Structure 1
Amino acid sequence: MTASPRIPPLEPGEMDPATAELLHSCVKDETASNNIYRTIVRHPRVFKRWTGFGAVLLYGWIPERDRELVVLRTAHNCRCVYEWEHHKQLALQRGVSAEEVEAVLEGPEWPQWSQWDAALLRAADELHYDSRIGEATWATLAERYDERLLIELPMLVGNYHAVAFAVNSLGIQYEGPHA
Structure 2
Amino acid sequence: MSSSATATHAHPLPLELATSKRLALRPPPYEPEVEKAIRNSAFKGLSPLNLRLVLAQEPKLSVAFQSMAHVVLFQGALPEREREIAIIRTGALTRSEYEWGMHVSIYAEKCGLSEAQVMELTVGQPGEALWTEKERVIVCMVDELHHHSTVSDATWAAMCTHWPEDQRVELILSSAFYHMAAFFLNSTAVPLEKGARRFPPGMTQASVPADGAAA
What TM-score does the superposition give when structure 2 sets the normalisation length?
0.74
2:141 is matched with 123
1:158-169 pair list within 5 angstroms: 158-169=176-187
Given candidates 80, 97, 104, the residue that maps to 1:64 is 80
Work out the CA distance in 2 between the residues paired with 1:50 and 1:57. 11
TM-score between both structures, scaled by the size of structure 1: 0.87
Shift >6 Å, 4+ stretches: none
Structure 2 spans left out of the alignment, 5+ residues: 1-18, 200-215
Looking at structure 2, the residues matched to 88 and 32 of structure 1 have their Cα atoms a distance apart, in angstroms, of 13
Unaligned runs of 5+ in 1: none
Provide the residue aligned with 1:82 in structure 2. Answer: 98
1:135 aligns with 2:149: no
1:15 corresponds to 2:33: no
Pairing 1:19-98 to 2, within 5 Å after superposition: 19-25=34-40, 27-30=41-44, 34-59=49-74, 60-89=76-105, 90-98=107-115
Q: Is the 8 A contact 1:103 1:110 kept in 2?
A: no
Alignment RMSD: 2.1
Partner residue, 2:188: 170
Distance 1:130 1:175, change over 3 A: same
Looking at structure 2, the residues matched to 115 and 70 of structure 1 have their Cα atoms a distance apart, in angstroms, of: 14
User: Kindly tell me: are residues 33 and 51 of structure 1, through their superposed partners in 2, closer, same or farther at Cα, counting changes over 3 Å?
Assistant: closer
Q: Which has the higher helix share?
A: 1
CA 1:28–1:62 in structure 2 vs 1: closer, same or farther (change >3 Å)? Answer: closer
Q: Shift of the alpha carbon at 1:133?
A: 1.7
Matched AA of 1:162: M
1:110, 1:82 → 2: CA distance? 29
Q: Is residue 101 of structure 1 aligned with residue 115 of structure 2?
A: no
Contact 1:32-1:38 at 8 Å conserved across structures:
no
Q: Percent identity?
A: 25
List per-residue Cα deviations over 1:87-119 (Å, max 9, x = no partner).
Answer: 112122122111101110203447532211111
Give 1:113's aligned residue: 131
Matched with 2:165 is 147
Q: Equivalents in 1 of 2:134, 2:92: separation in Å?
A: 19
Change (3 A) 1:32 1:41: farther
